[in-house]
Structure 1
């Protein structure tokens, strides 16, 4: 471990300058304790790692603003806590959405024969194939491959915000193109992860 960065003020200055060794020191010092802290709140180790990694990416991206930070350690803990709260709110919304999707799936299974269901799924698949290339690739990495947004960002060498934007764009375009058939939208909502399997 590099002792020259042990002083928090020196560490902040070097991070602001873009010193990658300072970033390595920061991650080596704080990654494990931050993961343990978030895991203690969430009981989700992979989710904790994602939150912590997102914070390190944001620290590096916004390193020019570190001069305003009084305590780097406090800032990191507050940032991962805020990340945990944001994720908790998203998960809470997703649970409500998933519950609705299960209801929709039950309706589809009850109301549709097998041939009709296949036709509707093919319609959704066709519209996904017609998405803009980057949008389609991002969407499939998320829904077909099951990658997290941060994994997609690393794989495609783009920001997490770009990944989120592309996935939202895919949903918006698919909703527009399939808006004439309510049941197709239900199928899309429920089976978006399955239609390429």
Structure 2
């Protein structure tokens, strides 16, 4: 596409012409997806990044200034999005490794006393719940019953079951907060 046609297309897009934007999308979307897939080796992430780029382009159409060619702008933008995606994934992976290491350390033989203390404290905390809440919580967590099954067995509403479980979890979080290292 020559510079003059690009400028006309961009002017139409800035003016809110959806057909012009669709033409731009149809022309560049497949090429940008292919490029991004080669960079990321993840087709679904690649499509998401390219779609996000077009959404941002449309949302910022009035203030976006493209000095170089439209094609260069789009490929440079998608490259930057790929780099951000890669950096973000590296941070997430590092965090996951830290959490995994903490979990492995906690569940190793070194922390058997802490584990036993935690399980004992959990059981004590559940036992301290009001009788009806405790029963509903145990039916859900220990027996693996669904909310509607509990409601039927106890002849109460599903909403009551949801409320009681929510309150039980909230109470347990408060009582066990110093164990919540993750």
Aligned match for 2:180, one of 164, 184, 189: 184
Alpha-carbon deviation of 1:107?
A: 3.0
Alignment of 1:58 onto 2:56: yes
- C-alpha distance in structure 2 between counterparts of 1:116 and 1:20, whole Å: 60
Change (3 A) 1:59 1:114: farther
| Counterpart selection for 1:81 from 54, 58, 79 | 79
Q: Are 1:116 and 2:119 counterparts?
A: yes
Q: What TM-score do the two structures reach when normalised by structure 2?
A: 0.59
TM-score by length of 1: 0.55
1:160 corresponding residue in structure 2: none
Q: Which runs of 5+ in 2 are unaligned?
A: 126-172
2:66 and 2:73 in contact (8 A); partners too? no
* C-alpha displacement of 1:69: 3.5
In the other structure, the counterpart of 2:40 is 42
Aligned length: 126
Q: Deviations over 1:91-139 (max 9, x none)?
A: 111111111011122234344249739949x9xxxxxxxxxxxxxxxxx
**Aligned mates of 1:16, 1:85 — CA distance in 2:** 27
> Which has the bigger relative contact order, CA under 8 A and spacing at least 6?
1
- Backbone CA RMSD of aligned residues: 3.2
Partner of 2:25: 27
What residue number does 1:95 align with? 93
Paired position in structure 2 for 1:11: 9
